[in-house]
Chains A and B, each alone.
Chain A
């Protein structure tokens, strides 16, 4: 079946370093991807999205890269801060009229002071 997976379940970085969280997706028909941040006890929070006609999109301190050739997605966080500590999910949508997001398992980002 369709799936979105993450290469690393946990990532530990030093405050101020850059973080890279990776994600592989299996459905080549997926045309929309979103990164979510989920802090303990809270719902997922939208970070950044990218459509399949793009390969890079930048936000504030975050950049998403999409490589459709190898079906790979990454989230880069610049100058990681303690407040960035959370679980990060990538999610994909493969068309249709619903908001059916297919989430991966998640990566726990731990920022060390």
Chain B
């Protein structure tokens, strides 16, 4: 158990719809990162939030957006869903802004499995 919880665990959407995924970070962690993991691939960095501000983004279009709340929980929103958005979406929290934080590791949740039909 990492203390990072994600919801929902599984969901099915159709093309063009919008989805919101949620993440509660481990207690005391002020940084949340989101990753997309396609089947059989390694996770790909989407973006990171630190103290409610986005402070890093990967190669994802603007229809991928996020929020971080004062309690450091976070949401990932994807608009105009495409078939290729089908993936496992992982949230990871850490106690510092950089991965080179005191413990040097990210704590991943179990992920939200999104299927787009």
Contact = CB atoms under 8 A, between A and B. Distances in A.
Interface of A: 4, 32, 34, 41-46, 49, 89, 91, 93, 96-106
Contacts of A99: 31, 33, 48, 56, 92, 94, 98-99, 106
Contacts of A89: 42-43
Contacts, number: 77
25 contacts: A4-B42, A32-B99, A32-B104, A34-B99, A34-B104, A42-B110, A43-B4, A43-B90, A44-B90, A46-B107, A49-B104, A49-B105, A89-B43, A97-B55, A97-B98, A98-B33, A99-B31, A99-B56, A99-B106, A100-B33, A100-B45, A100-B48, A100-B56, A101-B106, A102-B45
Given A43-B2, A93-B99, A105-B42, 17 more contacts: A43-B90, A43-B109, A43-B110, A43-B111, A46-B105, A46-B106, A89-B42, A91-B42, A97-B56, A98-B55, A98-B98, A99-B33, A99-B98, A100-B58, A100-B99, A101-B35, A106-B41
Main secondary structure of the interface of A (DSSP, over half): loop
How big is chain B's contact interface, by range? 20 to 34
Contacts of B90: 43-44
